[in-house]
Structure 1
Amino acid sequence: MDVWTESNVPVDTTATPWLPTLTVTMSDHDIDTHWPADTEVDGDALDGAGRALDLLTTWYPDAHGGRHVGVRRRAGVPTPEHRGVACFFSGGVDSFYSTLRNLDEITHVVLVHGLDISLDNTELWDETVRRTAIAARDLDKELILVRTNIRKLHHKFGPNWQHRAHGAFLAHIALVLAPHVHRVYIPASKDDSRLIPYGTHPELDPLWSSSDVDIVHDGTDRRLRKLELLAESAPAMAHLRVCWWNLSTDYNCGRCEKCLRTMIGLDILSALDRCSTLPHRIDPREVRRMYLTAGGDGGRIYAGENLEDLQARGAGDSEIAHALSFALHRGRIRNALVTARFVRQIISGILGHWCRNAFHWARYGTAHGEPLADGPPST
């Protein structure tokens, strides 16, 4: 299986960036990674990977393998001066928040093709690149584009993507960018009140750092606090992308749980009409039938928080508040109907996804998601 990562900036072509991904992937199989003779990796990164595995083993007792055998420690080597500071940037609430709150320090934003946007969804990727380039320009930041198929490694061997794997894959990309940046921010996806063992975590993320790149977990604030900062940012309101339904080509669908939770939060702040990428009207019927468990327990938690915020602002008797309460307290039959509707949407999206791929094969004779023959540097 060929796994690759490429970027529009110079990359680290040593073995060091692969330490996080292989540590997590092999830990799920109680297998150590045996490296070819004479392979050298950064000593700090190797020590950190060991500590990360110890932490993961504490969280998940079945994570026994993942040690690196036969690899040689390499001392830190001189790296280019005047390297920048980057933040992973999807255009979502978390990444906009971390970028805005560290605006004076951050010099680059990193957009990755192959993580939340699949490699064969070129329509959504092209639109996201276009909008992110404008946002980066308006924020006076350089845009780094990364393209990778490392999720193939996870699909074949890896543990649960959200709970154990995705932070290590982000760390891989951070270390790949060592020739260009010396610090990379990973925006937090959970606030302080909800910190649990998770793939990206304030205790785990820094352990993947190397002598060349400092990895920082950032922004463990409540979602409404984040939206308050975004509401005052013209680039955020012009280019916010929150939709999880990435089999479609919509930048934001305006109907999925993640779109609706964001719309409700912005509406609570009287800022929904400022956001040009989301509908300005919330349909209570869509709120009532939100599928709240698509991404684990997050949907229910955010729905509960939005309801509490509405009540705290004297809007507990509003139509949206009633719709949220209904969604949170549906009976088994209504939940079954909502689940069936969600499954139909999934099937429809997959069929559309296959049709687009078939069209691409028929027109170009190649598959999406292959590395570029004459493209940017890769590792």
Structure 2
Amino acid sequence: MANILIIEDEAAIRRVLTKILTEESADYTVSEAEDGLSGIEMIKKEDFDLVLCDIKMPKMDGVEVLEAAKKLKPETPIVMISGHGDLDTAVNTMRLGAFDYISKPPDLNRLLNTVRIALDRKELVVENTRLKKKVSKNYEMIGESEPILHIKEMIEKVAPTEARVLITGPNGTGKELVAHWLHQKSDRSKGPMIEVNCAAIPSELIESELFGHVKGAFTSANKDRAGKFEAANGGTIFLDEVGDMSLSAQAKVLRALQENKIQRVGNDKDIKVDVRVIAATNKDLKHEIAEGNFREDLYHRLAVILIKVPALNDRRDDIPLLLDYFTKKISEEQGTAQKKFQDKAVKLLKDYDWTGNIRELRNVVERLIILGGETISEEDVRLFASK
């Protein structure tokens, strides 16, 4: 069901609009407000999928309604209804966030088409918001230890900027979580975040993966293909395990960072890109530079801001919180009742040597949920958490 509000001071026009909409679809529920003030009160109390709002009204005109409604419910599309003399104002309302405007008397086809498109757009916005919340939930950063609080503080300061960030730390510590937080809290959050695992791509294919290629550039290049940098245009590209990138690819990444341009493999045509680069590595890049495996100039381009993610052994106080988080998450995924850990079991897990970091802890929790008793005991930990 679509919940539509008509804000219009002329009763005859309200009746016509209501009749048109309810006859168009039984799924449309239409409410009416006779002036802007009452319309805003209704918007405060109820969620509408679409608002049709007249421009010239007593007490509160349509422009004021639009501005107030956008503050209250920014995701709700608002279509302005304009008389012949209001067209300039109607166009101006588009700059203020109106979805569209229709003229009086309303053209039936134009009205219904605008309503359908606006409702479809609202549905997409709601779905996108839901997916973003889901993504945010999947990338929660759990912990209240001093190292984690420091990282969260760094993210709050750095995310709104365009500064490039290099995230370091051992495997399994959650470097990708930091990258996702940086993207989600940035001005680029509405754009794409493209992840590239540089260690998982063969060195002979990394350039094609990053920059794309043209047909015939190499044996298996059967058609033109855009690379990850193009896909990330307007958003963020996350170069995970950047220390494993070939020197040839490093040179091209350096050029992309210097000039905001790339070239597809097999073509010398420049393609402009607007991309924020976040990189991560488990290697000591300064050592790699000394060994001739990593370009020093690229390192300085990437490491404008350095964020070091600690090993789990360096943040043991977070283990109880992580146990609760993983227990709840895994139980939800498996559709089973959430189990509890005895205090002695928690203490034993805090004392473990977590060489595999957060990733290893999650695996151990899943194993204990599957194999352990109704309450996870110290004995369960000794039996099933051993390496």
Whose strand proportion is higher, 1 or 2? 2
Structure number with greater Rg is: 2
Normalised by the shorter chain, which TM-score bucket? under 0.3
Bigger relative contact order, structure 1 or 2 (CA pairs below 8 A, ≥6 apart): 1
